[in-house]
Amino acid sequence: MATDGTKIIDGDLARDTYEQIMDLYDSDATIEIIKKEIPFVKQDYGTDTDFYHEIFITSYALAFWEIGEMTDSILEEVKRVIELKAGVKVWTEECDANEGKKRQKELDKLLKKISQPNLKVRKRKKYKLVKNFYFQPDDLLTFQLSDKNYYAVVCAKITQQRGQCTYDLVATTYKGKNKPTVEDLKSCFISGRRIPCSYDVETILQMQPNVDEIWEYVKQSHFIFGLPYKLVTHRDIISFKDKFEVVGKLKIKESFKKDGGYGYESSFDRFEYIFIDLDRHMEIFREQKYPVTLLCEL
């Protein structure tokens, strides 16, 4: 199933669309900026385009209704996609008729809600920010596992979102009996992922400058490059931050820091599980190896 459930906000695309709008809204972005950052346009999702468009449009509409910015054009597009019944067909065919009926019910409820004025517009939320970090962006961190080998991750960035602070770590292939140096990392690789994209070359390069350098390396084009992040919250890392040691700075190029997936790692045991057989982990999650010298500013 391409989405998790029949509700309006019940899968990755819907959740990402809704939360991106709300994050911008809570960051005091104007409605014009929100519309520019997240255009209200139909994208080419390849197969099942109407299905994914329904998910995008309905989550977009719900967000804009909640912040008091519903427009006639958004409402009319919601009506149009609901009439197509793309989602109802998918849930009926991939699950059963009962799931299709559930989706139709959710769509009908949404249309009824957003067709009426919102008398209680959502206020912009203010979140408390963490100011004293344990690690910094671009820190090269090493840690030792039960096999007595040292491994390394890069703290590519720190994200503060909806009141939660995370250290966004990226896996490297370093493994050795000695603590690594930045020089050692030059012969290593970083875990990355290719994100299929149907845009033309010029548009992709505008979205992600220099991604053609990665295309040339893999002898393949028309994809966006993303990093699969190992996210550790500021709260969780308190209990095992001493397992990590900063051994230098390694800066991944900004245009290559796009999100290529993520997982929350709440204990040091997770690093043992992932890195003791990193090749297996990368194979399961369809990640590839990219040279540090290609992705980083050295």
Q: What is the pLDDT of residue 44?
A: 66
For the chain, which residues make up each domain, given as ranges?
A: 12-114, 139-297
Q: What is the DSSP letter of 138?
A: T
pLDDT in tens, 73-132: 999 999 999 999 999 998 888 888 898 999 999 999 999 999 999 999 999 988 888 999
Among the listed residues 168, 155, 151, the one whose alpha carbon sits nearest the alpha carbon of residue 233? 168
Q: What is the DSSP letter of 141?
A: E
> Can you tell me the distance from the alpha carbon of 276 to that of 83, in angstroms, rounded to the nearest whole number?
51
- Give the residue ranges of the chain where pLDDT is below 50: 1-2
Q: What is the DSSP letter of 254?
A: G
Q: What is the pLDDT of residue 10?
A: 87
pLDDT in tens, 179-199: 999 999 999 999 999 998 878
Are the C-beta atoms of residues 8 and 46 closer than 8 Å to each other? no
- Per-position b or e across 190-213, b if 16+ CB within 10 A of its CB: bbbbbeebeeeeeebeeebeebee
pTM: predicted TM-score of the whole model, two decimal places = 0.70
Q: What is the pLDDT of residue 46?
A: 61
